[in-house]
Chains A and B, each alone.
Chain A
Amino acid sequence: MVDIGIISYGAHIPRLRIKTEEIAKAWGKDPVSISKGLGIIEKSVPSPDQDVATISVEAARSALARVNIDPQEIGAIYVGSESHPYAVKPTGTIVGEAIGATPILKVADYEFACKAGTAAIQTCMALVKSNMIKFGMAIGSDTSQAAPGDALEYAASAGGGALIIGKQDIIAKINGTCSFTTDTPDFWRREGRKYPAHGGRFTGTPAYFKHITSNAKNLMENMKSKPEDYKYAIFHQPNGKFPIRVAKMLGFTEEQVKQGLLCPYIGNTYSGATMIGLASVLDVSKPNDRIFLCSYGSGAGSDAFDFTVTDQINKLERKNATLISQFLENKQYIDYANYAKYRDLLYYD
């Protein structure tokens, strides 16, 4: 059987940051207990001219910059997000035009809360496997919303990642993938509503933990693998605490999770979260490293993947695009007043 996997990857994280402390101050909360409780120090904030389209294009261009492939050979682009700039008009069309992949191209936008990006990987994988396309691009990116004063406001941030999926010169082979889905309304946003609603403390055990642990166990059972077989593990990261706790529940160590855990420094990038976590791991991984990835999307579902990095990673021009560590360093802090202005939290009459 021909191996299918990742050919290249790219990511983008906006430059603006707001500290948890600054948000807590605005609402009269204790900054230390909130920052410690959530495990988030600061989060990324999109500039007024940044949206899911610009973040997706940046990530897609980064993925192309690392590898020598003709964009015309990309046969499909799927963009997963819950903050697509248009309700009707796919973000993928903008990305396709901007990277020069149009017009012989399959495009659709995906939505599955925070796991729409990983769902896009599975679609691209299937299209490549069935020879319907040569290369596919899977993107997960968000500029997530949070109501002013809501607990989500400390986490909801912006960023995205893009993967090129194919079967020639792969840098990481997809050994297997599986999904777990139920109707669990833990977090939702109805049509036309500006901010999402959520089930507060009920979003943990029956939602995030149940779906990730069940799906992760299924994947390890399918692959006949154990947590210690993996060098890195990436879990969806709605805050800094959940991924570490779920890792421990499954038998992974903090050491395995560390490289792919960015939430403390950039917040929850929703559909971008596991994609950026994977980019951070691919920035440093070496041939034969095995990677475990498990996303989570509210509503609710989880996609799990088992990757093995190949020798080709050494030929990938990783330096041709910004590394995650460089995104973390390149930042500018803003105060809550500017945050409110940029995130459109103010009322105009």
Chain B
Amino acid sequence: MADGAVPRFWREIPQRYSLIGNQCGKCKKIYFPPRESCPECRRRSIGHMNGKKLSGLGKIITYTIIYEAPENFEAYVPYPMAIIELVEGPRITAQIVDCPLE
């Protein structure tokens, strides 16, 4: 984490630790990462975006294996990154850990 990113890290603690996204109170669409407003309902959603804890369950839509890692991740290669569609709907990009590469 770069030093300048401390406030951002604080703001992102709920989503990073506990996968807390949010839900539009109008159209009920669920977002991760949480959004300030719903792009569908726009200003009607302002003040109606409610935090929602996601189950963490989903399916892998696609994946790639990283051999050339960005800084600070060199020791992890090769490691898989995947786009995962959560059962609640949103898609997230995440590293897959604790599984054999094959």
Contact = CB atoms under 8 A, between A and B. Distances in A.
Given A15-B98, A332-B100, A342 B75 contact: yes
B76 interface: yes
Interface in B11-31: 13-14, 17-18
B97 interface: yes
Given A48-B75, A342-B75, A97 B100 contact: no
A203 to B, nearest CB: 32
Contacts of A47: 97-98
A266 to B, nearest CB: 16
A341 B100 contact: no
A97 B13 contact: yes
A349 interface: no
Interface in A323-349: 332, 341-342
Interface in A182-215: none
B97 A49 contact: yes
A108 interface: no
Nearest to A54: B97
Contacts, number: 19
Interface string A88-127: 0000001001101000000000000000000000000000
A21 B81 CA distance: 33
Interface residues of B, number: 9
Interface string A13-47: 00100000000000000000000000000000001
Given A97-B13, A98-B17, A48 B98 contact: no
Interface string A35-72: 00000000000011100000001000000000000000
Contacts of B75: 48, 341-342
A325 B18 CA distance: 27
B52 to A, nearest CB: 13
Contacts of B100: 332
Given A49-B76, A341-B75, A100 B98 contact: no
Contacts of A341: 75
19 contacts: A15-B98, A47-B97, A47-B98, A48-B75, A48-B76, A49-B76, A49-B97, A57-B17, A94-B17, A97-B13, A97-B14, A97-B17, A97-B18, A98-B17, A98-B18, A100-B18, A332-B100, A341-B75, A342-B75
Interface of A: 15, 47-49, 57, 94, 97-98, 100, 332, 341-342
